[in-house]
A and B are shown apart, each in its own frame.
Chain A
């Protein structure tokens, strides 16, 4: 009995019911809130949402979005998912729904072709034509953003694969930027003699395993690389074998970091002088600045020389794209923004944020190192080559990247690695062509 004389146990069923009702209501509220998360992609006045897999770029999108808003009336609202694998799954699934974002950041080449093939993307050919008439896009890159002749992506950025190096370290050792293969080998020997690992090479995270492969094959024979990634040449051909032998030789000489070296440590290692040259996309300029290195003062960058002086010069180019889902919540706003993305005032802000090259060739990079690379590419008429990651069907690239990782870890010889890559190429190209038919 309680003090008021009410039997204590009589209240229990009611309390239990209240408790259960409370629990049910709580669970229902949580469920509703969970479902409400889908609102993040719904239309919001004055903005267009962007799916993005690199959260460190959010600030750049917002800044460029302010510049866009002055032209189109719509800012950019980045929605980031930093896990690349889950990002790809989410984008591919939401494209088929009404929950698609207004703009999607995606890779170019076969990654984009695969997405376009599944349907759900807007044809941007007329936007491309407008840009081309103004000279704001490179005609050579049209194929990398097209599928069956129609354009499905507008270039988001353009990066080049280069070797970053520390200017103070090179100066201290009396080294200059190598312009020939012999000079490159000399640099590596001097660095090694001074207990500095000449080159950073890594397979941590999977994809970095392609970097030295694509770089060496293109510097042996860029035309062969174009045929190779198009499925018109064999991985067992002489240029591929020569590239792999060079790579193998570099590893045996101890010129490369161990394959489990994390690339994120690259800028710090270059600054500290423990690594001599860091092969990466020019978008790594941001990382170099993050460790306190000033462009052209503390670090520089150059494109790997060709193995033979008579070989045509080339540069590996990486270009992400903006795609517009057909079911975008604010489709007209997305089209307006994608139609002004390459406008110089917007690209000025974006390029300065990335400290990288703009996809608009009329916009000079604010980073003096990248600006000089742009000049070099134009002056030398370097052949622009699509990065290996986007250059062939995704299943083929993924499998070959695994094989290259195994080669870097010493599991397979150059010959075995190439044989496996060629076997996969035959299967995957046959599958791709069968699907296309």
Chain B
């Protein structure tokens, strides 16, 4: 930051060279402290609307949510200490919700990363790359709800997937894809990967195209095979992009909601709920805002902690 400030204060010519010192005939020098104060005030004025909006619509509700989570859901809402948080130990639906959330995190991190990287590498060099890229990226442009509607058409018991299996005389494989756990959660993770892979492909393609070809050529001249070139030359240079892809997928996995809500509404029997769906369910359907607030707090802490731990470690390494 100090370097940046110094640069800003050094007058330069249009070609970037330091300008000659200006003569004393120009405007009188502004007192240093006043200029500093004015800059701070200006910066503050620009920041104020954003700070107020964040405080009003993000921080204040968050503080209220933490406060509410310590109160019971009975009519008089007495202070109940950690009773709402103890539901995580006593309510089997919440235990299943945590299981599902973990499955979603693993699925949404691994699948888009692996598929995105593979498709980006394959489509970066092949002749049909543009068409292939378009096909993969297109689902990313769809909303989660629209994706869910399409997959619902395919996955219901009398849906397209089972009809295809029946026509292929594979009736034994036909089943209620959205009815039994953990199969229903797994197919929803796959549906999510179908959509989320597009953005990973775009990011990896940007990363691949920024790799200097000389580095790969130098490896080839030194006798490195294709796999060795990828493993030791390409992959390390994709590290910054990988950090972003994994970081985004991590957070998306933890807060997955729309696809699940449209496909199963967390059912049947609350079997496909993630923490985000449980939070909504407890608050608005079960009419237990205290329990919903406790889930919201736990989910927020997990998202923040996971993001912070992951990004701190990765960005430190990157910034060395």
Contact = CB atoms under 8 A, between A and B. Distances in A.
Interface of A: 85, 88-89, 114, 117, 203, 205-206, 209, 258-262, 394-395, 398-399, 402-403, 405-412, 431, 434-435
A394 B287 contact: yes
B288 A203 contact: no
Interface string B285-301: 11110000000000000
A411 B92 CA distance: 13
Given A260-B156, A260-B178, A261-B157, A398 B269 contact: no
Given A206-B265, A399-B286, 8 more contacts: A260-B176, A395-B287, A406-B268, A406-B270, A409-B267, A409-B271, A412-B269, A435-B76
A218 B158 CA distance: 31
B75 interface: yes
A205 B265 contact: yes
Contacts of A262: 156
A278 to B, nearest CB: 16
Nearest to A394: B287
Contacts, number: 74
A405 B284 contact: no
Contact of B269 (A85, A260, A409, A435): A409
Contacts of B176: 258-260, 409
B75 A85 contact: no
B157 A395 contact: no
Interface residues of B, number: 23
A258 B157 contact: yes
Given A258-B158, A260-B179, A395 B286 contact: yes
Nearest to A269: B158
Contacts of B288: 395
Nearest to B264: A260
A398 B76 contact: no
Contacts of B265: 205-206
A191 B178 CA distance: 27
B286 A405 contact: no
20 contacts: A85-B284, A114-B287, A258-B156, A258-B158, A260-B157, A260-B179, A398-B286, A402-B93, A402-B269, A402-B270, A405-B267, A409-B267, A409-B268, A409-B269, A409-B271, A411-B180, A411-B181, A412-B269, A434-B74, A435-B75
B21 to A, nearest CB: 24
Contact of B271 (A89, A114, A411, A431): A411
B-side binding surface: helix, strand, loop or mixed?
loop
Contacts of B268: 203, 209, 259-260, 405-406, 408-409, 411
- Scoring A203, A260, A410 by chain B CB atoms within 10 A of each residue's CB, the highest score goes to A260
B158 A261 contact: yes
A410 B180 contact: yes
A31 to B, nearest CB: 12
A431 B74 contact: yes
A206 B75 CA distance: 25
Contacts of B271: 406, 409, 411
Interface of B: 74-76, 93, 156-158, 176, 178-181, 265, 267-271, 284-288
Contacts of A114: 287
Contacts of A258: 156-158, 176, 179
A435 B72 CA distance: 12
B173 to A, nearest CB: 16
Contacts of A411: 180-181, 268-269, 271
A91 to B, nearest CB: 13
A260 B181 CA distance: 14
B180 A261 contact: no
Nearest to B176: A258
A403 B267 CA distance: 9
- Scoring B180, B181, B267, B286 by chain A CB atoms within 10 A of each residue's CB, the highest score goes to B267
A241 B284 CA distance: 31
Q: Which 6 A-B pairs have the closest CB atoms?
A: A406-B269, A258-B157, A435-B75, A409-B268, A405-B268, A409-B179
A262 B155 CA distance: 13
B152 to A, nearest CB: 9
B269 A117 contact: no
A406 B180 CA distance: 9
- Scoring A209, A261, A410, A411 by chain B CB atoms within 10 A of each residue's CB, the highest score goes to A411
Contacts of A412: 269
A420 to B, nearest CB: 9
Contacts of A399: 286
A412 B267 CA distance: 13
A398 B75 contact: no
Nearest to B273: A402
A81 to B, nearest CB: 14
Nearest to A404: B269
Contacts of A409: 176, 179-180, 267-269, 271
A260 B271 CA distance: 14
Contacts of A395: 286-288
A206 B76 contact: no
A205 B263 CA distance: 10
B74 A403 contact: no
A263 to B, nearest CB: 13
Nearest to B285: A398
- Scoring A89, A114, A398 by chain B CB atoms within 10 A of each residue's CB, the highest score goes to A398
A398 B267 CA distance: 12
